[in-house]
Amino acid sequence: MKQMVRLAVSLLCLMAGMGTLKAEAERPNILVILCDDLGYGDLGLTGSTEIKTPVLDKLAANGAICSNGYVTHPYCGPSRAGLITGRYQARFGMEINPSYSPYDRTMGLPLTERTFADRLQKVGYRTGVIGKWHMGAAPEFHPNNRGFDYFYGFLSGGHTYFPEQVSSNEPLVNDQQKMIYHVNEGCLLPLMRNNNAAEFDEYLTTALSRDAARFVQRSESPFCLYLAYNAPHAPLEAPEELIAEYAHIQDPQRRIYAAMVDAMDQGIGMIVDALAESGKLDNTLIFFLSDNGGIFPKPFKNKYDAWGDSGPFKRGKGSMMEGGSHVPFIAHWPAKIKRGTVIDGLVSSLDIAATAVAIGNGDASGHELEGVNLVPYFTGEKTDSPHETLFWRTNNNTSWAVRTVKAKYLKESWNHPDGIQLFDMQNDPYEDQNILAQRPEMRAELAQRWNMWNAGNINNILDEAPVYHSKRLQLFEEQYQKKIKDAAKKKPLVIE
């Protein structure tokens, strides 16, 4: 009898173990695709008739479009910090682009913060980041030490697109500002695979896409991949044959930019094909968005660069107007999301971490995630707005914004002639009519919301790259001059 009981217990344990293995295998894969400086209106799904993006258009049509999707900051580094941690970057004082500084153990994403990859890695996900890191270059900040099992790409905030331009020592240039910023930012350094130099023998966007396709094809489920393209960020570089396909675009900068977006779309197609071929597409949640708006002329620049199209929105990267942080935002997951789904409520890049951790049963310890699990909105279980209010703030509070479903209150940077502005977002989503004088009660309510949120923030801690590198070079010079003076004070050695 005892033997039969032991056998029954063993059988139950075996069945439980098989159930656990099955549950592990059924956990969804997660693919987060982030592009760089994409104009809102530069995809077919957002209205472009100039640039071909059939892959992204199809993913959007077969999945969900978040028509009011936002990032947490209108430019690169801080926006990425918010996305990757699931917390407003103002909570930890990171509102600048971290400089490439491999010996500075303070210049990067603070070690107090956890990435969504770290939270999923803890529960058995294979995690990877491919492309642009921009969260610090010292060993402490390296992706392999921030929750990512695998890394292929570059630690800096930008990179050349062609391998023949790579150099282990970036050349000096005559212009002092370019020398301070570009030479010290690692834009021409070799790519890395984990901690080693990696091969790079084709157009960068294609190389990143090819590596991502290999990652998803070879990974056992579950996996989480963060694919951070630097396209279509400057420098404007694309294969000549692809540029030629956009000869109908007269502006030479926009022509190259269009080719860069096209190359990215083709690369995403390689990854989708790899998911389909390996039988993983149905159970993979794919997010796609941009880190901020497209390049738009800034009034304080002598030369206006403007190759991005913000579509119906005003301004672009760096602005508190909609063109700065209202981005194309789509999700695709055949197992859960019905084709043609549209979410009109407020969605934030913070929601990506919250959703990933929720569906992957990730480690939720430590700082509380500030996003919302979007799955109930994808499935139609919830139909209200995922967020009541969203907030923005730039370095030293030079500009700020707060948005509810109904209204938006902001102070624009770039010395905007109207200064502080208030908009009725239900009737005026494109910010045409400043109603500040007409709605003092709305202004007061939004100000109160922003002040309550901002009470939990800290001021920006780090310096922007040009300032940082200038100080660093000045420090070296001061130390050297001090050593010269100290050496001059020492009496010469006299021997007998």
Q: DSSP per residue over 156-194, as a string? A: SS---SSGGG--SSPPP-SSHHHIIIIITTTTTSPPEET
Cα separation of the two ends of the chain = 101
Letter for the amino acid at 216?
V
Place of tokens 């389909």: 276
CA dist 14 → 23, 123, 211, 231, 439 (Å): 14, 21, 38, 49, 66
- Strands (E) across 79-181 are located at 126-132, 150-154
Among the listed residues 73, 134, 182, 326, the single catalytic one is: 134
On whether the CB atoms of residues 75 and 97 are closer than 8 A, the answer is: yes
Enter the tokens of residue 348: 């934030």
Rounded to whole angstroms, the Cα distance separating 92 from 110 reads 7
H or E segment and range at residue 30: strand 29-35
Catalytic annotation present for 76:
yes
Active-site residue, from 35, 66, 73, 76? 76
Residues 6 or more apart whose CB falls under 8 angstroms from that of 373 comprise: 351, 354, 355, 358, 359
Angle, helices 252-277 vs 54-61, to 10°: value is 50
b/e string for 116-126 if b means 16 or more Cβ within 10 A? bbbbbbeeebb
Is 469 a residue of the active site? no
Q: Give the type of residue at 419.
A: G
Neighbouring CB atoms inside 10 A of 79's CB total: 28
Secondary structure class of 238 (helix, strand, coil):
coil
Residues annotated as catalytic are 76, 134
